[in-house]
Amino acid sequence: MAAGSASAAPSPRFIVGFKAGAADKANAAVIRERGNVKRKIGGMNAMSVELSAAAAEALRTDPNIAYVEADAVRFIPEMEMQVAAAGDGGIDMSPAANPSSGKEYFLGQRVPYGISMVQADQLPNGASRSGNRTICIIDSGYDRAHEDLNNNGTVTGEYDSGTGWWNTDENSHGTHVAGTIAAQNNNGVGVVGVLPASQLRLHIVKVFGAAGWAYSSELADAANKCAAAGANIISMSLSGPAPSMTEQAAFDALAAKGILSIAAASNAGTPAMRWPAGYASVVSVGALDSNKQWATFSNYNAKVELSAPGVNVLSTVPMNTATASELKVGATTYAPGPMTFSARATRTAPLADFGLGTSVNAAVAGKVCLIERGAISFGAKVANCEASGGVGAIVYNSLGGGSFAGTLGAPGSTIPSMTASAAEGAAMKAQLGQSATLTVRGDHYAGFNGTSMATPHVAAVAGLVWSYFPMCSADQIRTALGATAEDLGTPGRDVKYGFGLVRAKAAYDYLAANHCKN
């Protein structure tokens, strides 16, 4: 069953590798063992097959079969781990973006903090160079109708019988990744990406549907489709807990062809290795926050090679699928954080103290609940407010905590809800009884967390730098990025940061001085 199916979990499959010239005999052997071929892997003597474990053992003895291995599962890391920094469902937020000064980018746009962190705004004449590179994004698709992605150079893609057309995105993940790479520099609209000049060539291969998982056979096939489309760089914000010899062979072959593959280290916050980032032929990317500190969810091991922004990264999502929150109490306008699964509505009512929100209290009926973070989940707090007759909810941080993103855990709430920092909560405590207006509306941009968000920063920086030195090889670009990364943490390469923060201008200067010499 393909990743785009309605199945909530993957069913077991095997990859059957066959000897050169033995495709027909291998197919016959699979049929004999009552197997069901699900995918023939492009560019390889291999196919993905549904069959029993006993049948897999039988195939291993067939003289036409080279090997049989489990078809490992690959996930969007955020969905694999259901990442949250706290048990109540909240993730602390760093500053997502700053307004454009009009110098590097048109006024009216928000410039995500990662753009300057990776020095994407420091290269000369960037608008005219990136058209000589192609970045292939293997993910959940691309919202071609998005206001910040609908005119950003040449974008092509693939149709897949399991996941559908490349230019739709039921998951939001792929569109977010694409925005970090190539959101347009267009006056007054949205955000900008690392390569915003509408010159870059993108190729999209959609391996994830709404369920957020795929098989390693599908990833190997997708990577070979990237190569066939002329990709120089492959960006993969995905991972899985088991390696695959088929997948490794695919990426090793692509590296030999001069293609640079880049993947997320994953988000368990442990030393666990994840693949494809674990292969030597793939660059493994860890995540940093806006202060260049290691993100505590980012996996750390000897394979981590580069780091990039991955906490509260603001980027594009399919149109109107995100939420924007607005809050005014009395004469004071606040900047609240988002609450996933909040109802979209506007409510105005007196502000009332609801404590920790651990129980129903009729005293807040017809009022906006001001709730302190802690003790129970956000979903339970907001549900108690709603059961008490409250018309809106604000959950503020405790113990001096800053802004954060929350989640109710599931849809179903009928009142608008949002988050606030501890300082904002303290200020609102002094405004109890005043009129509070909460608005939660649809938006086209969202802040995401994960090594998935760090990966496209590295892929885009590689494309940006390489566009100035197209005569360099993929290995030379990889070496330059590592040699010029900002060393963070323990001096030298370490398990959390790798070589450090990827830097476009530093890599450009290195190559300008060394002329593609490692």
**Which region among 20-24, 303-307, 409-413 has the lowest average model confidence (pLDDT)?**
409-413
pTM for the model: 0.91
Which of these three, 394, 409, 443, is where a domain ends?
Answer: 443
Do 126 and 344 meet the contact criterion of CB atoms below 8 Å apart? no
As a whole-number percent, the residues of the chain with pLDDT over 90 amount to 80
107 band by pLDDT with thresholds 50, 70 and 90 = confident
Q: What is the CATH number of the domain that holds 263?
A: 3.40.50.200
Identify the domain containing residue 351 by its residue range.
Answer: 322-443
Q: Report whether pLDDT(92) > 60.
A: yes
7 band by pLDDT with thresholds 50, 70 and 90 = very low
**pLDDT recorded at residue 2:** 36
Whether 303 and 327 map to the same domain: the answer is: no
Q: Report whether pLDDT(99) > 80.
A: no
Do 425 and 355 meet the contact criterion of CB atoms below 8 Å apart? no
Whether 203 and 348 map to the same domain: the answer is: no
The model's pLDDT over 175-208, given as tens digits with 9 standing for 90+, comes to: 999 999 999 998 788 999 999 988 899 999 999 9
Whether 311 and 427 map to the same domain: the answer is: no
Q: What is the CATH number of the domain that holds 38?
A: 3.30.70.80
* Positions marked active-site: 139, 173, 452
Whether 123 maps to a domain, the answer reads: yes
* Ordered DSSP codes for 317-329: -STT-EEEEEEEE
Backbone angles phi, psi at 381, to 5 degrees: -60, -50
Whether 281 and 137 map to the same domain: the answer is: yes
Whether 379 and 474 map to the same domain: the answer is: no
Question: Mean pLDDT over all residues of the chain?
Answer: 92
**pLDDT recorded at residue 79:** 53
Whether 332 and 278 map to the same domain: the answer is: no
What lies within 8 Å, CB to CB, of 121 at 6+ separation is 104, 105, 111, 115
Residue in this structure with the two tokens 């004071």, named with its chain if needed: 332
Q: Which two tokens stand for residue 279?
A: 């292969």
CA distances from 182 to 136, 178, 334 (A): 12, 6, 31
Whether 331 and 437 map to the same domain: the answer is: yes
Total domains, the chain:
3
Residue in this structure with the two tokens 């105005």, named with its chain if needed: 348
Q: Report whether pLDDT(87) > 60.
A: no
Q: Report whether pLDDT(513) > 80.
A: yes
Whether 286 and 206 map to the same domain: the answer is: yes
**pLDDT recorded at residue 126:** 57
Whether 6 maps to a domain, the answer reads: no
The model's pLDDT over 205-237, given as tens digits with 9 standing for 90+, comes to: 999 998 899 999 999 999 999 999 999 999 999
Q: Report whether pLDDT(97) > 80.
A: no
Q: What is the CATH number of the domain that holds 363?
A: 3.50.30.30
Distance (Å, rounded) from C-alpha 95 to C-alpha 84? 18
Whether 276 and 191 map to the same domain: the answer is: yes
Average pLDDT over residues 405-417: 93
